Structure 1
Amino acid sequence: MAGNVPQIDSSVLSMVYFFLITYVILIFLLNALKQQWITISILVMLCIELVALNRLSVIRRDVMYVRELNEKVSYNDYTVDAVNWIKQQDKDLFYRIDKAGYYSSGAIHGSLNDNKIQGYFTTSNYNSFAQLNYVRYFKAMGIISKNNEVEARWVPGLAGRPLLEAQNQVKYVLLKALIPPQWKLMFDSLGMQGDVKILKHKYVLPFGYTYKKIMKLSDFDKILPYKREIITFQTAVLDDTTYFRLYNHLQTYNLKDTSIADNFTFNTLEKFKDTLSAEHLQLEQFDNNYIKGKIKASENKLLYLSIPYDEGWRIYMNGKKINGFRINGGMTGVFLPKGEYVLEMKFHLLYAKKGLIMSAVGLLLLAGIFVFRKKLID
């Protein structure tokens, strides 16, 4: 591709034109003369086309050889060793790992879903129907455009944004390039597995941590994107409707308070981290459909859970069902009045029961129609 103009092989284009013109002529003759030899000619042309274009569709296709399955390439590269090493060292129930600057896929284009093959949680994702609130989070943080549908499918993740990685429990980063000097302030180097360097985040927050202050999303949108990453260490951001429902119960954060972002230092980052993680969710169980933990709130607080908000998650505090809401644009938030709680989250696929009922009703109706028609025939 030269610039934005795709380059087409002229010989292939000529071949395609030849076959198209030939087919048009033969089909015209078949309709006019209705001779068997014309039908045979079309079949012969189809065979010639298959042979001629076989070189493009099959022979020139990239293949993986059996020996490559045992080599440290593609999805079997040293990322696998790095992830296994991390899992042996870190027994926490949940954390994320980001790749910085490389992909394991052997395809022309890098994959955002390497983690699904290599077995770890991360922040990047490709899905033609990406989770809506996860996309909203990235839009709120200014990472992807609010008006670009393509970016909503190719969610790039938080690699290269260590402040947001800290907020979303990206505990480790893997990279193959040289470690950027500024990253040494944010990460500790744990060593290498092959050509993959393993870094551990110094300021990573727990899976669930608590805010004292809240801010309106409409105000948050007015802040420059680079400042948003700092501001969310100080305050939770709520949709305006949720904000007005809770602002009497929590401290408020206004646009004038955002000036602290201009004087940000790593000392303040350490303080922010300590404040947010002082009262956090202590995980006891974690899997894709069930999360359980304990938390104590010394005052009214807002719990931030670093998973996208989804109505399929049913949240219980001390056995009582409560409603969660979107926080920081798209993650999961829970209001915590002062007290001690056992928090449980159970995932239920929305409309699954209704779908089964409708399917059953449809089958019964189909059976009824079949019986009714049989009686009419008899």
Structure 2
Amino acid sequence: MNATLSETTASGKPGKKGCGRLVLLLSFCIPMLLLAVGFVLQQVHPFGDRQILVTDFWHQYYPFLRLLHEKLRSGGSLLYTWDSGMGTNFLSIFAYYAASPLNLLTVLVPESILREAVTVVLLLKIGCAGLFFALFLRGTFRRDDFSICLFAVMYALCSYILGYYWNIIWMDTVALLPLVVLGLVYLVRDGKYRLYVVALGLSLFTNFYIGMFTCIFAVIAYVCLCVFYLKPAQLPGRTIAMLLGSLLGGALAAIVLLPAYYALQLTYSVNNIFPTTVQFYESWRTLAADLISFHEPTAKDGLPNLACGVLSLALMGPFLRSASIRIREKVGAILVLAFLLISCNCNVLNYIWHGFHFPNMLPYRFSFLFSFVLLTVGYRAFLAALEEKFKVWDILAMLVMAVLVFAVSYNVQENQAVYWSVAVMLLYAVILLLFFREIFGKKLLYLSLSIVLAFEMFQNVKLGTETVSTSDYLSYPTQHEEVESLLAQIREQDDSLFYRTELSSWYTLNDPALYGYHGLSQFSSTANESVTKWMRAIGVPASEAGNRYYYGGGTPVSNAFSGIRYLISRSGSVLDLQEWQQLASEGACYSYQNQYDLPVGFWTAASLQDYAAAPDGNPFDNQNTLFRLATGVETPLFTRMEVDSVLYEGADATKNGYGSYTYQADAGAETRKLQYNYKLPVDGTLYGYMSLPNGSSISVLRNDSFAGSYNNGNQGYIFPMGTFSGSETASVSVSLPADSVTGTAMVYVYQLNLAALEEGYAKLQSGGIQITEFTDTKLSGSLTASQDGLCYFSIPYEEGWQAEVDGVKTAITPIGNAMIAVPVTAGTHTISLHYCPKGFAVGACATTGAVLLLIVLAVIEHKRGKPFLQPVAAQQNVKEIIHNDAEDTET
């Protein structure tokens, strides 16, 4: 064993603490610095007018982080929020999107610089990935020199992180993986369980989804460690300790795990079908070619992100060649790497890894495990070769790996990436050869390796940040000052304890969370499927598979049953002036008040409980049914309009039934447009519905003149067209995209029966609830019912809600399995709703109990002066632990 390894003690404590601290500091700072330089090159604010918010970070993560920031600074409850989805379980959102302890740092800054703070938090997470991997190498191999920094940087800047860093919610658990495995090493080798328990609990707490991958990998790692370290007689005790430690780690995170579990049972993602046949996605050569550097990582869809620096690839040759590495280590490493690689290419294993679910975008979300194993194997080979002064066979093995990389990757991966990767591998081999020939000392060895690695990592960072891209800083969120001013004016004029507001057209799919108002829209992996179906049934743009529903305009019925009192338009006046009365304006933004507003709770007929949402049906028919059952008004609220004429440009369409058309576009046409014209028999207000995937914006015309437009989106929805006289022609027009050849369009136009609306609205308004108390988790008020019926609440239903009527606990009657209603008798009543997420109480008790148990165990161990478990080889030399003897090598 060389001098450096001899400096470590049998207990594994480094011999030079100052050097070790510097190495850990560099492992933390270097990845952060390189990624920060990448952001500067991308002109990320304050070094330009760009920001790192893209895709779901833009639509989901930042709005939810802003919501968390607001709650932390105002002291709001983390259990529920009214600023998303008409009200939703915030603890489940927190568990999935915002549970990183580093997010607590954002409470120190105002919202005006929250995006910059989030960028810094991301950099800190990347730094932690490097630091924790360095700690893993130091604790596992009892090494404390600069070599651990080299491999730590490669882990923190592997292609998985560089491709998916925008998915900021995953980075904590990816960073914590090395600590979880180090905890397993301590448990198996040294009988110390505490790090494993705490690291696993923190991993599950910060993101239970990626934490699931860590749990699966922990089982694999445990088996390998037992093979490497334990004798058969020691296996039962260690296995029991591992199982109990895993349960204790899960209990530490139970305060978020249990509520999140119950919330996920309400989502669409629980409905998946196990693959019936085994299939492979890519050729094995294609996967192998993805291991090299200097190419774009997968940022949304594509191959698994496996690359983690070509030094780890080059060292696979010395790893397999080295006589000082036991056969069991080589076989174990190859089997684990092979299993992870096969998992990335086999549909069945991919399905199982993702929790019996095929993910939407961001494929192979567990591929960071492959990088972790490959870098660990590479470091093991580096140490073995370093101890033997890099024999000539190690250099030859590295050259063989370079040849193999070229042969596998050439004309499969980008050839420029192949050339650079092979060149860097050869540089590494030359540097190690110079060390082998004693031309380089150890300091010069590490300096040379660092220079080459810095070049490689910087190029990968540059490619990664370019691939992930950025978004405009100044326009996010769009017209924020104007909208904020209008929201402030609404708050000043309305002293009600509770009301809802919405934007006439969406910017993100989480505008209420982004702008800070009680609203309807929500795009979340924890979205309640039953509520999404309810929304889609009444013509709100929604998708169960897409985990989203969001505001698109609506009708007096959908707005009333959603509790929308105010509307803000960022693009001029709205078309439906029958329903909306203008209040104020700021620049191009206008605020409106609903003339048919209903409070969050109001009396309805008992027959409303018979309503069954039909999301695949005609939304106007669904609204007619909902209104009739709620009010008892038999006159249809909406009457369909027949098409008077059509105008097709660059396309033709065949009518399949009312509102259903199959179109065929002309491939050579410059303009492709479908237009449907309607003539009113009498003056009236019209509402349209269009479902045309991938279409452009919807235009509403009045006598062939443009009146207004709406986002088309991928989900069909109802939109206001305005009030027309009997002499006018109303038209709905949509342009087809250039790549659309054929498809199906659904186009409905219905006229509102104003007399029926007024009659029904008067009945519902008379039984509106007067809110007397409102918090994040409680709503109380008084209601006067003219007759027996229901108090309907425009609040999504889930089991966490409990109701009291006149102080007596009352069973909730879910409407359409989606919205809350409480039975009431004729007369005046006080109604209270209380919320606590299902599983929270049990989870909180489990977490508290786990913390107390850890404290008690620590006190007992302190008094005993030794751990409960006996170390595997307390008196063995490090060399005897991590190396084989001659007899074992022969075996």
Do these two structures clear the TM 0.5 threshold for a shared fold by scoring above it?
yes
CA spacing shift, 1:55–1:63, aligned 2, 3 Å:
farther
| Aligned 1:279-294 pairs, distance under 5 A | 279-294=767-782
1:135 pairs with 2:532: yes
**AA aligned opposite 1:282:** Q
Q: Using the TM superposition, name which of 91-100 and 348-357 deviates more.
A: 348-357
The 3-state SS of whatever aligns with 1:209 is strand
Structure-to-structure mapping, 1:217-232, within 5 angstroms: 217-218=611-612, 220=614, 223-232=617-626
Identity %: 20
1:262 CA displacement:
3.1
Q: 1:76 aligns with which of 480, 494, 497?
A: 480
Q: Does the 8 Å CA contact 2:503/2:568 hold for their aligned counterparts? A: yes
Equivalent position of 1:172 in the other structure: 566
Q: Give the superposition deviation at 1:296.
A: 2.1
**Structure 2 counterparts to residues 245-284 of structure 1, below 5 A:** 261-262=638-639, 264-284=752-772
Instruction: Provide the residue aligned with 1:343 in structure 2.
Output: 831
Q: Deviations for 1:188-215, whole angstroms, at most 9, x for unmatched residues?
A: 1223122201122211222211221236
Per the alignment, residue 451 of structure 2 pairs with 44
Q: Which residue of 2 aligns with 1:197?
A: 590
Q: 1:226: how far off? A: 2.4
Partner secondary structure for residue 350 of structure 1: coil
1:156 to 533, 539, 550: 550
Name the CA shift for 1:166/1:24 in 2 (closer, same or farther; >3 Å): farther
8 Å contact from structure 2 (residues 522, 549) kept in 1:
yes
Is the contact made by 2:535 and 2:541 (CA closer than 8 Å) also made in structure 1? yes
Measured against aligned partners, the alpha-carbon deviations of 1:61-82 in whole angstroms (never above 9, x if no partner) come to 5575xxx6xx997463200111
Q: Secondary structure at the match of 1:262?
A: strand
Cα offsets for 1:246-295 (capped at 9, x unmatched): xxxxx999xxx796643751221111111222222121122222211111
Which of 25-34 and 202-211 deviates more?
25-34
Letter aligned with residue 100 of structure 1: S
**Deviations 1:336-370, CA, capped at 9 Å, x for gaps:** 12333111122224333322322233234434544
Please tell me the root mean square deviation across aligned C-alpha atoms, in Å: 4.0
Q: Deviations over 1:106-151 (max 9, x none)?
A: xxxxx233333433211112223224553343244354566x422x
Residues 102 and 175, structure 1, Cα contact 8 Å, conserved in 2:
no
Give, in whole Å, the separation in 2 of the partners of 1:94 and 1:281: 11
| Change over 3 Å in CA distance of 1:229–1:17 after alignment to 2 | farther
C-alpha separation in 2, matches of 1:359 and 1:215: 39
Per the alignment, residue 107 of structure 1 pairs with none
- 2:630 pairs with 1:233: no
Instruction: Determine if contact 1:308/1:332 at 8 Å carries over to the other structure.
Output: yes
The 1:62/1:14 distance shift into structure 2, 3 A limit, reads: farther
Task: Give the counterpart of 2:599 among 184, 191, 206.
Answer: 206
Residues 169, 139 of structure 1: CA spacing in aligned structure 2 closer, same or farther, 3 A cutoff?
Answer: same
- Rounded Cα–Cα distance in structure 2 between residues aligned with 1:310 and 1:145: 19
1:86 matched to 2:463? The reply is no
Letter in 1 for 2:565: K
Measure, in 2, the Cα distance between the counterparts of 1:206 and 1:62: 38
Match of 1:299 in 2: 787
Tell me, what secondary structure is at the counterpart of 1:88? Answer: helix
Give the structure with the larger strand fraction.
1
Once structures 1 and 2 are overlaid, which stretch shifts more, 126-135 or 199-208? 126-135
**Cα distance, 1:299 vs structure 2:** 2.1
> Does the alignment pair 1:113 with 2:510?
yes
Deviations 1:315-352 (A, max 9, x none): 11111111213214411111112333111122224333
- The AA in structure 1 aligned to 2:826 is K
Amino acid corresponding to residue 289 of structure 1 in structure 2: T
Asked whether the 8 Å contact 1:140–1:329 carries over to 2, the reply is: no
Alpha-carbon distance between aligned partners in 2 of 1:221 and 1:61, rounded to the nearest angstrom:
36
| Map of 1:96 onto structure 2 | 500
Greater shift, 20-29 or 166-175, is seen at 20-29
Counterpart of 2:452 in structure 1: which amino acid?
Answer: M
In structure 2, distance between residues paired with 1:89 and 1:252 = 34
Q: Which amino acid aligns with 1:159?
A: G
Distance of aligned partners of 1:145 and 1:13 in 2 relative to their CA distance in 1, 3 Å threshold: farther
List runs of 5+ in structure 2 lacking aligned partners: 1-299, 303-412, 641-751, 868-891
1:194 and 1:219, CA in 2 relative to 1: closer, same or farther beyond 3 A? closer
The match for 2:153 is: none
What CA deviation, in whole Å up to 9, does each residue of 1:207-226 have, x standing for no partner?
A: 21122123645585674222
> CA 1:63–1:99 in 2, change beyond 3 Å: closer, same or farther?
closer
Question: Do the aligned partners of residues 162 and 43 (structure 1) sit closer, same or farther apart at CA in structure 2, a change above 3 Å counting?
Answer: farther
> In proportion to residue count, which structure has more helix?
2
More divergent stretch after superposition (133-142 vs 19-28): 19-28
- How much does 1:90 deviate? 1.7
Question: Which deviates the most, 168-177 or 207-216?
Answer: 207-216
Whole-angstrom CA distance in 1 between matches of 2:591 and 2:816 = 29
Give the Å deviation of 1:24: 5.5
1:29–1:348 CA distance, 2 compared to 1 (3 A) = same
CA contact (8 A) 1:188 1:199 kept: yes
Letter in 2 for 1:336: V
Deviations 1:165-204 (A, max 9, x none): 12222111111324354x1222112231222011222112
SS of 2:627's equivalent?
coil
Deviates more, 1:344-353 or 1:38-47: 38-47
1:366 is paired with a residue whose SS is helix
Residues 582 and 591 of structure 2 are in contact (CA less than 8 Å); yes or no, is this contact kept in structure 1?
yes
Distance change (3 Å), C-alpha of 1:226 and 1:28: farther
- Alignment partner of 2:639: what SS? helix
Counterpart of 2:628 in 1: which secondary structure? coil
Q: 1:23 to 1:333 in 2, by over 3 A?
A: farther
- State the shift of 1:305 in Å: 0.5
Contact in 2 for aligned 1:315/1:345 (Cα 8 Å) = yes
Flag the 1:195–1:287 CA change in 2: closer, same or farther, 3 A.
Answer: same
SS of the residue corresponding to residue 168 of structure 1 reads coil
Note if contact 1:100-1:175 (Cα within 8 Å) is conserved in structure 2.
yes
Structure 1 CA distance for aligned equivalents of residues 435 and 624 of structure 2: 76
Q: 1:101 to 1:14 in 2, by over 3 A?
A: farther
Q: Which residue of 2 aligns with 1:248?
A: none
How far, CA to CA, are the matches of 2:847 and 2:476 in structure 1? 47
SS of the equivalent of 2:608 reads strand
Query: How far has the Cα of 1:50 moved from its partner?
Result: 4.2
Between the aligned partners of 2:801 and 2:788, the Cα distance in structure 1 is 23
Query: How many residues of Structure 1 are paired with residues of Structure 2 in the alignment?
Result: 337
Q: Which runs of 5+ in 1 are unaligned?
A: 104-110, 237-250
Alpha carbons of structure 1 residues 367 and 176: separation in structure 2 relative to 1, 3 Å? closer
Higher mean C-alpha deviation, range 16-25 or range 115-124: 16-25
Residue type of the alignment partner of 2:551: G
**CA 1:325–1:140 in structure 2 vs 1: closer, same or farther (change >3 Å)?**
farther
2-structure distance, mates of 1:161, 1:49: 57
Distance 1:20 1:267, change over 3 A: farther
